[in-house]
Structure 1
Amino acid sequence: MAKVLVLRFSSLGDVILTSSILKPLHDAGFGVYLMTYKGFASIFEDSSFVNVLSVDKSNMFDVAKSLTPDIVIDLHKNIKTFILKNILKAKWFSYDKKSIQRRFCVWFKAFKNNIFYITDEYANAVKPIVDIKNPKPYLEVKDERLERFVSSKPVISLGVGARYHKKKYKYFKELSELFLNSGFEVRLLGDKNDDTDAKGVSYIGKLSLIDTLACIKSSKLVIANDSSITHMARAVGVKVITIFGGTHPCFGFAPKPDEGITISKDMPCKPCDLHGKGVCKYGDYPCFEIEPKLIFDKAMMLLG
């Protein structure tokens, strides 16, 4: 069995999206290995189709050499993977990061109409060895893990956090109240650095990555910022509404139409940064002046 090593070290959302090629490679008969940083490895804890090599910067080269892969799929494309390419004697494939196209979306706003999906680019990278139709992230969660999150009410999970302020929707409190008043159980998800005034059952900073995945899978719908929570929902087949502020679907990280919808206020200044870094030049993030009732109504439509 040929060994395929997939490289994606960070960040969490990008690592989750690698799953769009991992299971198809496994199903095609390859032995599949993913090399990623230790902080992200546990998201694959229940997934049976991949062997995860959990590394840090000090040991990644030794771990890669000890595996002796036949094929390497480079989904990171940085100086570390360039070094690995010169160390490993393996057939090498990499993906088109569309770096120029994404930067053009920031520099020349007309380019933001050119929507693409990173998962399609990942699939194109492996097309010489497996043809993946409509690639989407996919992660497994064991039934016993899901039992912890069973509820008598329909669950809406809100991904209230994001790494940068330009990605943080500011009316989650009002949105959560709309759902609570309509009889839903609202769950709040994020890491220990996220704070929110939203109402509901707070799991912020309290769950492991794999348990967060289980919590999401037990939900009827997820509403999240442009963050890893969006991709977790996609990976377990739960519809998601992704709210874009300073970033934009043209960067490749929006859910596909069969995975959910995006809500993005059209403004001449956006997208303003490739990753959502920095502060708003207007000071008050007008890109997030999106009525909670509008999002609520979109959610009700998705829920049928």
Structure 2
Amino acid sequence: MDKVLIIRFSSIGDIVFTTAVVEALKGKGFTIDFMTLSSYVPILESHPYIDRIISVPRDAGMKQLRWIGSDLRSEGYSQLIDLHSSLRSRLVRSGLRGNRTTVYKKHRIKRFLLFYLNWNRFNEDFELTKEYLELAGIGTEFQPTLYVDPEEEKKISEQLKNFGVDGSFIALVPGAAWPNKLWTVSGYRELIDSYNGTVVVLGGENDAICGQISDGFSSIINLQGKTDLRTSLVVLSLAEMAVGSDTGLIHAAEALGTPVVMLSGPTARATGANVRHVSSTLLYSDVWCRPCSKQGARNCFRKERYCMTGISVSDVQKSVNGMVGSV
């Protein structure tokens, strides 16, 4: 049986996207090894189509990365698919040597033109997962998919009951790695105030917005900083739907089968900010300066982040109300 190594070190959303390739390759009968950073291994746990997860320490140096590659030579990979194309992945590849290698070429020039000259050279139907699939030569009909074990769901369901969650709920993921991606605190609070049901908020320890939108609401269960990555994924798999910005957990929710309302601001389809679940909704404000960066890292030059503040509460409410109870 042919054996393939897929490399994608980070981040949450990008790793989620690569699982479309995993689904497709397994359908062709490949044995699949997946290399990623140790902090992101939980994303891929319980994935039935990944035969081995190769964990790489985030602080691995050049020598160690080459050694990791050379140590894998004996695996006899028929193909190496590098979906990251970073210094890390090049060092690993240099250690492996001799394998048939496919490397994803990033659209650096197109993105420069888009972000700095407002010149969009991307096709209207650009889809990152399709590019990955075409690169691997395996069709384009597969979607990113993550899995959780039924025992995990049972365990987390019991833990949620301890927090007062007993029954259906929606999840909010208001935080983001870059502040420019954040929707307004007032918007989230108005949404929560209008929703007649249980809301679970997920976020990391540094996501202060979680507390800001939760304060004073008895219907909110704020789990900010109380769940690790794997637990957050299981919570999302149990949610009726999720609301949040273009972040890894929102993409993960879709891959787990949970529809989302994605609030896209400084990013757009050309950066991977797209919804893929048939019941999901993508909301954005059609301002001329959007998108301005791949991840939302570039400082906004305007007096207000119109790409986010222009997303109305009423549109989000309509999307949530239309989704809850119908999925």
- TM-score w.r.t. the length of structure 2 is 0.84
Q: How does 1:200-219 map to 2 (within 5 A)?
A: 200-219=220-239
91-100 vs 161-170, greater mean Cα deviation: 91-100
1:174 CA displacement: 4.2
Task: Give the whole-Å Cα distance in 2 for the aligned partners of 1:118 and 1:279.
Answer: 24
Task: Give the whole-Å Cα distance in 2 for the aligned partners of 1:156 and 1:77.
Answer: 36
2:67 corresponds, among 62, 67, 72, to 62
**Quick one: structure 1 residues 40 and 245, their matched pair in 2 at CA, closer, same or farther if it must change by over 3 Å?**
same
53-62 vs 34-43, greater mean Cα deviation: 53-62
279-288 vs 27-36, greater mean Cα deviation: 279-288
1:265 corresponds, among 252, 264, 285, to 285
1:39 CA displacement: 0.8
Task: Give the whole-Å Cα distance in 1 for the aligned partners of 2:2 and 2:205.
Answer: 40
Task: Give the whole-Å Cα distance in 1 for the aligned partners of 2:141 and 2:78.
Answer: 26
1:187 touches 1:203 (CA, 8 Å); kept in 2?
yes
1:20 touches 1:138 (CA, 8 Å); kept in 2?
yes
1:262 CA displacement: 1.2
Q: Residue in 1 aligned with 2:319? A: 298
Q: Residue in 2 aligned with 1:26? A: 26
Question: Partner amino acid for 1:102?
Answer: R
Task: Give the whole-Å Cα distance in 2 for the aligned partners of 1:100 and 1:301.
Answer: 39
1:134 corresponds, among 126, 132, 141, to 141
Q: Residue in 2 aligned with 1:184? A: 197
Q: Deviations over 1:75-117 (max 9, x none)?
A: 0112333344343210111224223223322134352773412
Q: Deviations over 1:218-277 (max 9, x none)?
A: 111111111101211121011111111222223223113626221110112222222211
Task: Give the whole-Å Cα distance in 1 for the aligned partners of 2:221 and 2:15.
Answer: 27
1:160 corresponds, among 162, 174, 177, to 174
Q: Residue in 2 aligned with 1:109? A: 118
1:118 CA displacement: 1.1
1:179 CA displacement: 4.2
* Alignment pair present for 1:71 and 2:92: no
**Quick one: structure 1 residues 61 and 180, their matched pair in 2 at CA, closer, same or farther if it must change by over 3 Å?**
farther
Gaps spanning 5+ residues in structure 1: where?
Answer: none
Question: Partner amino acid for 1:145?
Answer: E
2:135 corresponds, among 125, 137, 147, to 125
Q: Residue in 1 aligned with 2:53? A: 52
**Quick one: structure 1 residues 39 and 259, their matched pair in 2 at CA, closer, same or farther if it must change by over 3 Å?**
farther
1:62 CA displacement: 2.1
- TM-score w.r.t. the length of structure 1 is 0.90
Question: Partner amino acid for 1:106?
Answer: F
Task: Give the whole-Å Cα distance in 1 for the aligned partners of 2:271 and 2:224.
Answer: 27
Q: Residue in 1 aligned with 2:217? A: none
Task: Give the whole-Å Cα distance in 2 for the aligned partners of 1:242 and 1:231.
Answer: 9
1:28 CA displacement: 2.1
Residue identity (%): 24
* DSSP-derived class of the 1:198 partner: helix
Task: Give the whole-Å Cα distance in 2 for the aligned partners of 1:240 and 1:132.
Answer: 26
Task: Give the whole-Å Cα distance in 1 for the aligned partners of 2:269 and 2:90.
Answer: 28
Question: Partner amino acid for 1:137?
Answer: P
1:14 CA displacement: 0.9
Task: Give the whole-Å Cα distance in 1 for the aligned partners of 2:142 and 2:250.
Answer: 16
Q: How does 1:224-243 map to 2 (within 5 A)?
A: 224-243=244-263
* DSSP-derived class of the 2:126 partner: coil
Gaps spanning 5+ residues in structure 2: where?
Answer: 215-219
Question: Partner amino acid for 1:80?
Answer: R
1:96 touches 1:121 (CA, 8 Å); kept in 2?
no
1:4 touches 1:31 (CA, 8 Å); kept in 2?
yes
Q: Residue in 2 aligned with 1:254? A: 274
1:168 CA displacement: 0.9
1:89 corresponds, among 92, 95, 98, to 98
* Alignment pair present for 1:144 and 2:147: no
* DSSP-derived class of the 1:18 partner: helix
* DSSP-derived class of the 1:10 partner: coil
The count of aligned residue pairs is 300
Q: Deviations over 1:11-58 (max 9, x none)?
A: 221112111111322232211111111110111122222111000223
1:176 CA displacement: 4.8
Q: How does 1:30-45 map to 2 (within 5 A)?
A: 30-45=30-45
